[in-house]
Amino acid sequence: MITKEYFARCITLMSFLFNTVIGLFVFFVLTQAASSTWLEDFELHSLENWHLPQPSHWERVVIEGNGVLHLAVGGPVGKNPRRPVKFAILEGPCLVGFTLGVKLKKDPIEEESDLIVVFAYQDKEHFYYVHLSNDTGDVSVHNGIFKVAGADRERIAGKGSRPTLPDSEWHHVAVVHDRLTSTVRVYIDGESEPRFQTSNHSIPFGRIGLGSFNNSGMFDELHLDGTTVDLCSAEIDSPLDD
């Protein structure tokens, strides 16, 4: 017969083992990590540093003398699990912690639209993304931080938040991922307080990406300071459904 005391000891042991594994992983990461910086202003004509799902839907365009990355055709949406699939993945850096800044702008022709910043991308079923929208966080799947971990996307931050893309102007988004605490903070247009914040250990490392859930938009002036680890697969798994 299983007693309450025996059950409690099992729970304590499982918690100890889990925390030990997390601690060993953090130790491994800290001993193997290296700091690097990436800058991408899209002034060069080539997009060779990016893995582009449906490449013909992406282009480098010049607006008022300034090169930008343009996602010209939105969609499709991942069906199994339900998730975004239309985002360009920066090749090379596998990050365990980072500070990312980027300017982005939704296309004026789409009154209601979204853009996303993907991070900790390991494969099509394991990543996080920041969803930026003209909706509030009261819409269950808009405006916040979401997790895809082998199932439909799940909100982990931003419920009830104010719209992050209220118009078709350029906006600056900063995403800070703390490698020690797994805390993620998202700042909009230089605000001193994060618009979204959460702590989640489910997916500790991966690549970053820029795109949309099902709309079009533009990206420019990506600045990325990160801690790299040699843990990502050399070949990038396409976010598209098979």
In a domain, 87, yes or no: yes
Q: Render pLDDT for 185-211 as a digit per residue (tens, 0 to 9).
A: 999 999 999 999 999 999 999 999 999
Read off the pLDDT band of 242 (50, 70, 90). Answer: confident
Mean pLDDT across 93-110:
92
In a domain, 86, yes or no: yes
pLDDT at 19 over 60: no
Mean pLDDT across 176-186:
95
- For the entire predicted model, the pTM comes to 0.87
Q: Render pLDDT for 104-114 as a digit per residue (tens, 0 to 9).
A: 999 887 667 89
In a domain, 242, yes or no: no
Mean pLDDT across 11-17:
60
206 and 152 both lie in a single domain:
yes
Read off the pLDDT band of 77 (50, 70, 90). Answer: very high
Q: Render pLDDT for 64-75 as a digit per residue (tens, 0 to 9).
A: 899 999 999 999
The domain total for the chain is 2
Read off the pLDDT band of 8 (50, 70, 90). Answer: low
Please give, one letter per residue, the 3-state secondary structure of the chain: CCCHHHHHHHHHHHHHHHHHHHHHHHHHHHHHCEEEEEEECCCCCCCCCEECCCHHHEEEEEECCEEEEEECCCCCEEECCEEECEEEEECCCCEEEEEEEEEEEECCCCCCCEEEEEEEEEECCEEEEEEEECCCCCCCCCCEEEEEECCCCEEEECCCCCCCCCCCCCEEEEEEECCCCCEEEEEECCCCCCCEEEECCCCCCEEEEEEECCCCEEEEEEEEEEEECCCCCCCCCCCCCC
117 and 131 both lie in a single domain:
yes
166 and 220 both lie in a single domain:
yes
Domain extent for 2: 1-32
140 and 21 both lie in a single domain:
no
129 and 185 both lie in a single domain:
yes
Mean predicted lDDT score pLDDT of the chain? 90
132 and 188 both lie in a single domain:
yes
Q: Render pLDDT for 131-171 as a digit per residue (tens, 0 to 9).
A: 999 999 999 999 999 999 999 999 999 999 999 999 999 99
pLDDT at 60 over 70: yes
113 and 10 both lie in a single domain:
no
pLDDT at 49 over 90: yes
CATH number of residue 123's parent domain: 2.60.120.560
Mean pLDDT across 36-40:
94
10 and 42 both lie in a single domain:
no
206 and 159 both lie in a single domain:
yes
pLDDT at 16 over 60: no
56 and 93 both lie in a single domain:
yes
In a domain, 169, yes or no: yes
pLDDT at 11 over 90: no
Give the pLDDT of residue 112.
Answer: 74
In a domain, 204, yes or no: yes
In a domain, 234, yes or no: no
pLDDT at 1 over 80: no
Mean pLDDT across 48-55:
96
24 and 104 both lie in a single domain:
no
Read off the pLDDT band of 30 (50, 70, 90). Answer: low
203 and 221 both lie in a single domain:
yes
